[in-house]
Amino acid sequence: MYKITKHDKIIVPVALMGIIIFVCSLIDIYLGIGTLIGGVAVFFGWPALKELHAPFEGTKEEPPSFLDTTVLQGNFHIPHNLPIPYAVLDIRGHILMYNQKFAEVFSDIEDAKQSIDKLLKQSGAGETTLIQVAEKYFEGALDHCDVIEENGAVGTVLTMTLVDATKKQQLAKLLEDQQTVVSMIFLDNYEEVVDNLDESRWPILSALIDRKLNQLAQDVDGVIRKLEKDRYFFLVKKGKLSQLKEKKFDILNDIREISVGDHIPVTISMGIGIGGNSLDVAMQNAKAAIDLALGRGGDQVVVKEGESFVFYGGKAGEMGRNARIRARVKADALWELIGESSGILVMGHKNGDLDSMGSCMGICAIARAMDKRCNIVMDEVGVGIRRLWDKMLASGNYQNLTIKTSDALKMMDAKTLVIIVDTHRKSMVESPQVLEVAKRIVLFDHHRKSTDAIDQAVLVYHEAYASSTAELITEMIQHIGKKVKLSNIEADALLAGITVDTKNFCVKTGAITFEAAAFLRRNGADSIRVRLLFQNDMDAYKAKASAVKDAELFMGNIAISVCPANVENSTLTAAQAADELMNVTGIKASFVCCKVGDTVYISARSFGEINVQRIMERLGGGGHLTVSGAQLQGVVLEEAKEKIRHAIQEYLKEEA
């Protein structure tokens, strides 16, 4: 190939000029002389002109680069025999030269561009960056290298080296895939299923379940062992777990479809723990995962790796199991803990509602039966309980019942029992300071378990199947028996708690809910008085109506709306509007936002087909399959709506 040298740079223009002058003088001798003078002037004047411009060129941003490879080749010797892929680039990443090995990596040298761009962006001095070329992996590195040109100018080039890391990557992947994943499988409702099933059919049902689970283990090359009639232990390699994830654990559906006659569907919960190279950690994670799966109502898979939880399934409603036995056991334990304590502090969630306040009052009634001092920690009277609060003050018996955080902290000692009701989330309790100082904690809640749960409680009664915390507390009062004397206001408050959380005994209402209501009625509750505790004022009613009117439909059957800001209790109004929207034919879920101060509160409702808990969890909230909420800081309502739409889309994508 012919290469232009410095010598050519003079010869070619001079020769051209000569021809032009010759042609010009053929046409007219004076034109020829003129052109000659012009040519001579340009020839001698050019270097001077160039020099004049030189300072400007020098101030350009980019340093000189060696696009002229001849210059480079004269000064820079590429080590052709280097056993690794090697290339020299100009400062902008254009390839100037490369060795044979480099050519072997990139069959088309244009393909190297992508890798070079990645290295330019990510590689610091002395660092390597992993790059993938087809099936292979390389640790790529760039280095700066000064090159001196003939005229003494110093320029910079980049050297690029690639070290084959394919084996290393393969081994790392293999090592990760080989990790043992521990998993526990529980049948959620075995007792209830066999209760309603002819005895002769039990073995068939059991065998069918075993077969499905064994098939699952076989498909992914795992092992499964039955520990008890409704418990299994399942081991699988991490590499194979992805197969199950890809199918979104359709084993949940397979099991639910098993039918050997007239019985409720069997559902399973699966807790999967990944623990890196530690089996112990994997086991701990599996336990935490199965706890969460059951706490969230069962019929789902929870995978725990490190601190992260991933959820699959969770479509069926909550299952109530062995409720009566549990309530009795918990009531006994509570009785003993109260007996040992020096005093009791009880608190619900922030912005308390009738369920949390009713539950607090129920606990106070239990404590009173044991002559223990009991106070409700409450810094502000929530709007949802204002009517109840007025009645309490009017009765004259409850002036000293509630105390502020500062006073609570003063009276706390090591034997103070702190009872949390109607929430299990650290961030949601009325007074996080009291929770922090508390040495002995008891927890009563009915919300589906979320990840920031209070974990140091000595007694937990957390039943996602229960309609309300007031129902759980009432159940325990029933078990403790005649020792507990409820006042009319306390009975009203507990019944109001159940009424508000069940939407007038519509949702999540089981036989136990009615039994609890009947018990409260016998002990002085009055449904008309309870009804009055809910009465809305006119402004709130109008706000609710406006939220319903302004609702927009998203994806055809999901209602999204906002609640006007001018009402006193807009969070409650938003929740009521979300409930109201569910009465509209065709609506499968509703989301209503309202803004209080700098916070946007979201109330979400559904009938269960759409899991609003999972959607709200994406926005940092939580709750139940059908009733959930979230709070967003520092956003305007439009942004909040957009975030909801996005979360719904993400959720539906995951479900698809």
Residues that bind Mn ion (CB under 5 A): 355, 422, 468, 501
CB of 454 to Mn ion, least distance (A): 16
CB of 141 to Mn ion, least distance (A): 59
As beta bridge partners, residue 132 has 137
The DSSP secondary-structure symbol of 349 reads B
Report, in Å, the least distance between residue 419 CB and Mn ion. 15
CA-nearest of 466, 372, 478, 482 to 419 is 372
In Å, how far are 127, 470, 493, 537 from 526, measured between CA atoms? 75, 16, 10, 21
Q: Which amino acid is at 501?
A: D
- Cβ nearer to Mn ion, comparing 464 with 480: 464
Shortest distance, position 422 Cβ to Mn ion, whole Å: 4
C-beta of 501: minimal distance to Mn ion in Å?
A: 5
What's the closest the beta carbon of residue 613 comes to Mn ion, in angstroms? Answer: 14
CB of 499 to Mn ion, least distance (A): 11
Count other C-beta atoms under 10 Å from residue 17's C-beta.
Answer: 17
Distance CA 332, CA 259 (A): 38
3-class SS of residue 290: helix
- Identity of the residue, 263 or 508, whose beta carbon is nearer to Mn ion in the bound complex: 508
Which residue number, 507 or 582, has a Cβ lying nearer to Mn ion? 507
Rg over alpha carbons for the chain, rounded to the nearest Å, is 38
Please identify the residue of the shown chain whose CB is closest to the bound Mn ion: 355
Please say which residue, 491 or 551, places its beta carbon nearer to Mn ion. Answer: 491
Q: Taking the chain, what is the end-to-end CA distance rounded to the nearest angstrom? A: 60
Pairing of strands 180-187, 268-274: antiparallel
Name the residue nearer to Mn ion (CB basis): 492 or 501.
Answer: 501
| 344 within 8 A of 373, measured Cβ to Cβ | yes
Nearer to Mn ion (CB atom), residue 158 or residue 494: 494
For residue 415, CA distances in Å to 438, 441, 497 come to 9, 10, 29
Shortest Cβ distance from residue 350 to Mn ion (Å)?
Answer: 13
Query: CB under 8 Å, gap of 24 or more: what pairs does 255-259 form?
Result: 255/209, 255/212, 255/213, 256/299, 256/316, 258/205, 258/208, 258/209, 258/212
Nearest approach, Cβ of 448 to Mn ion (angstroms)?
12
Residue 450: CB partners within 8 Å, gap ≥ 6?
A: 424, 425, 617, 622
Return the SS3 of 219.
helix
Q: For residues 501 and 617, which CB has a smaller minimum distance to Mn ion in the complex?
A: 501
Task: Give the nearer residue to Mn ion in terms of CB position, either 426 or 645.
Answer: 426
488-501 and 511-522 are packed helices; what angle lies between their axes, rounded to 10 degrees? 160
Contact 317/297 with Cβ under 8 angstroms?
Answer: yes
Q: What is the distance between the alpha carbons of residues 510 and 334, in angstroms, rounded to a whole number?
A: 24
Q: Give the C-alpha separation, 236 to 251, whole Å.
A: 15
Please report how close the Cβ of residue 359 comes to Mn ion at its closest, in angstroms: 8
Query: What tokens does 494 get?
Result: 């507990």
Q: Closest distance between Mn ion and the C-beta of residue 447, in Å?
A: 7
Cα-Cα-Cα-Cα torsion 632, 635, 639, 642, nearest 10 degrees, comes to -10
Q: How far is the CB of 353 from Mn ion (least distance, A)?
A: 7
Tokens of 2: 């012919």
Q: Write phi, then psi, for 208 (nearest 5 degrees).
A: -65, -40
CB 85 within 8 A of CB 161: yes
Rounded to whole angstroms, the Cα distance separating 503 from 489 reads 20
- Give the β-pairing of 95-98 and 86-89: antiparallel
User: Could you tell me the smallest distance in angstroms from the CB atom of residue 623 to Mn ion?
Assistant: 10
We find the least distance from the C-beta atom of residue 520 to Mn ion, in angstroms, to be 16
List strand residue ranges (DSSP E) for 165-283, in order: 180-187, 223-228, 231-237, 268-274
Q: Where are the beta strands (DSSP E) in 125-246?
A: 129-133, 136-148, 154-164, 180-187, 223-228, 231-237
The first and second tokens of residue 227, run together, are 């520990």
Provide the minimum distance between the beta carbon of 192 and Mn ion in the complex, in angstroms, as a whole number: 24
Q: Which is nearer to Mn ion, 285 or 468 (CB)?
A: 468
Nearer to Mn ion, 291 or 355 (CB): 355
Q: Are 631 and 601 in contact (CB under 8 A)?
A: yes
Which CB, 304 or 424, lies closer to Mn ion? 424
Of 299 and 353, CB closest to Mn ion: 353
Euclidean distance between CA atoms 545 and 581, whole angstroms = 10
Give 188 or 355: the residue with its C-beta nearer to Mn ion.
355
